Structure 1
Amino acid sequence: MSSKSPTEQYTYVRNCKQTTFCSGIPLVDLSKPDAKSLIVNACEEFGFFKVINHGVPMEAISMLESEAMNFFSMPIIEKQKAGPANPFGYGNKSIGRGGDVGWVEFLLLKTNQEHNSPTLSSAFGQNRENFRSVLNEYMCGVRKMACEILDLMAEGLNIQPKNVFSKLLMDKESDSIFRVNHYPACPKKNHNDDENMIGFGEHTDPQIISLLRSNNTSGLQISLRDGSWISVPPDHSSFFINVGDSLQVMTNGRFRSVRHRVVANGSKSRLSMIYFVGPPLSEKIAPLPSLMKGNESLYKEFTWFEYKNSIYGSRLADNRLGHFERIAAS
């Protein structure tokens, strides 16, 4: 991979106008009895919410963030030993195979640690086992939180059994992944510039849910149902939860996957860590019968493997579920 500077290597997008922070992001306290109803309401209205009292130790969060920043602070030639991302490993600027680029570098890993050994060995050397240990502690905490949230979703929807979602995560064949994104500080073109550089273009996540934690730097934006964009105030001690395409299908459109994007910060770097809850590759994705109540399915049944294949070369902003929607007869 080239060691040229970002502006020499790619043409970047500066088309993202400033937005205002939104104080109305749904907040769910996982320790309170009303958590399940608040989660359902948030998934229906926003496809997005923030959780507190999540149970993930702050020490584990801080340690992994520190290790990640140490990695991204290394010379490019050292980081490239963990790449190129295909799809796992280290990537820089290029996002996926659809031609999208952003002001971002990342490390994409399996949540099954056995699969990460070659990547970690190449990039972390003698520090490999320390990074593996810190990563494992963090992912164990996030996995437990994810199961709790998924079970609360099922309870809030009055679905039995309540592990209908979480069992997909706990399956030994679960296709969950873990991603660390680093957005270097990106100064504006001039003092009066009211546009921001795109760090990660608008998209929905294809999995069931995504659990995001970032440092105290702004940049994340979500799209509301009317198509307007709002900026999410950063909160380094909480987690943000995204509804993904697969959950949208399983709830027959009752929950909607949220379109989101990241804009580069002009003065500070941003680090985000995302745990994507994916089902086994052979899992059939279709609306749950208990949620249909006599309604027709809005989607054709597909396996997670089929969906991953269909979106592999797509652009980030594409409506990737469109190929699987049932078109009503005219």
Structure 2
Amino acid sequence: MKVGVLGAGQLGRMLAIAGYPLGHQFGFSGNSQNEPSSLLGHLFINDNKSLVDFADVITFESENTDVEVVKKIAKTVAVYPSAKSLFTTQHRGREKALFDQLNIPCAPYQMVNSEEDLKQAVEAIGLPAILKTATEGYDGKGQFLLHDTSQITQAWNSMQAKESILEGFVNFKRELSLIAVRDTDNNHKYYPLVENTHHNGILRLTIAPAQSIDPEVQKTAQHYMQTLLDEMDHVGALTIELFETETGLVVNEMAPRVHNSGHWSIEGTNTSQFENHVRAITGMPLGDSVPTHPFCAMINVIGEIGDIETVLKLSNTHLHLYDKEERADRKLGHINITANSQAELDASIKQLKGFLP
């Protein structure tokens, strides 16, 4: 089957790497010949029409994809996930409203369209709180943490008059995420909850599975996920980011796609998130998502390539570079670690500490 991808970044690249052994072909819509997916298939530069003509099915890399473009394409060729999933997940207010509708715990929130709105939201929600743009924004961009009412003007100005959302600050023990895949026949596969560590808003380390997770917590997260998948009739990978708190799980946000916190699954499971996404959108049976090792981790390579010789000398590490030029805070690749014990995992992470902040 010919799979078209709206976008040509590292996620598209890894989808293609996972999909070629299954007998599929790939095409990408990109902005230049220098994107990470450019050598992984047919590249259509700023030319969605040719991508549609090429493809039997289309998917996308980002929740910031234009929903109107997806709706138009869907009249000609199947697009997974659908415009409904994209419309919901690309707007934080619509996400939160859906969580409320489905009785999924999330932080208190209020939409903000002016400085006066922000003042009223702060009075209603209290401080500390986080002001975020309602759309776009990733890796900590488009966010302002308010500690005091004296910061209200500064916070609103930082949003550059864009529609925003104020969210109450959640006191959490750790940040978790869950990835699942749903196919067109409503079959589901769930990956284990993983623990994520961020620095300056950028994911730096994922531990998979998250350790000391009560089975009931995994079950609860999967229940939230299944509710969301079925409500949106979502086909493909869906990610939910959660906070683990003293009183239970609080869902933060969703991503309608494969996710950075699932990259460990390439070596850590029999069927990675990328392969299962491709299977789901092409009508193939979903694969096993159970970890093949009891301890796995993923370290992002940020800003500069660094000491990859050390990575390559270790017997249990796997290097994935994205063919991107070095730039501050840019995701250039990742390193996956598989281990048979906590001690082995800790020792490997320690040897790779140069890649961590």
Q: Normalization by structure 2: what TM-score? A: 0.28
* Greater relative contact order (CA < 8 Å, ≥ 6 in sequence): 1
Which structure has greater strand proportion? 2
Q: Normalization by structure 1: what TM-score? A: 0.30
